[in-house]
Amino acid sequence: MSVTLYGESPGILWQPVSPRLAVARRVGALAGAVPTLAAAAVVAVLWTRWAWIAFGLLALGLVIELAIIGRQVSAISYAELPDEIIIRRGRLMRRLDSIPYGRLQYADMQSGPMERRLGLASVTIHTANPATSGNVPGLPLAEAEALRERLTARGEAQRAGL
């Protein structure tokens, strides 16, 4: 499935990441926020009622974060061009990473516990300069493996001058 976002060039087929990445990120956000909310509630009950203000602000922040995660994930996509891979992300603060295959040293694949449970993986593209490296998160496992293999083959071909 390919989509065109932001009115970009119609010649580029952007591949979106899996929407299940939003689920993984939301679970991570909840895992970090629930203990803090519980601590604020305990302080409010045992110590001072003013802590309910902190509890409410933390809960509001969590709700906003959970809503934003879906928008962030839907803005992540990548495109494989003949000479480079382009990775873009962000709606408000847009970022576009262009990595020529000739600069690619290797591509690896990672999958944390939540990603594995959801059948997702991330492909990280390494170059000699860490500032020009890139990451494509939240791909279905088979797609991530295929992307890593294609990138590795294209990088070797470009370095060999073929």
Cα–Cα distance for residue pair 101/151, rounded to 1 Å: 7
Band of the pLDDT at 58, cuts 50, 70, 90?
A: very high
- How confident is the model at residue 128, as a pLDDT? 84
User: Which pTM value belongs to this model?
Assistant: 0.82
- How confident is the model at residue 36, as a pLDDT? 93
Band of the pLDDT at 72, cuts 50, 70, 90?
A: very high
Q: Is the pLDDT of residue 141 over 80?
A: yes
Cα–Cα distance for residue pair 162/156, rounded to 1 Å: 9
CA angle 116, 147, 104 (to 5 degrees): 115
- How confident is the model at residue 11, as a pLDDT? 78
Partnered with residue 96 across adjacent β-strands are: 88
Residue whose C-alpha is closest to residue 1's, from 25, 22, 27, 19 = 19
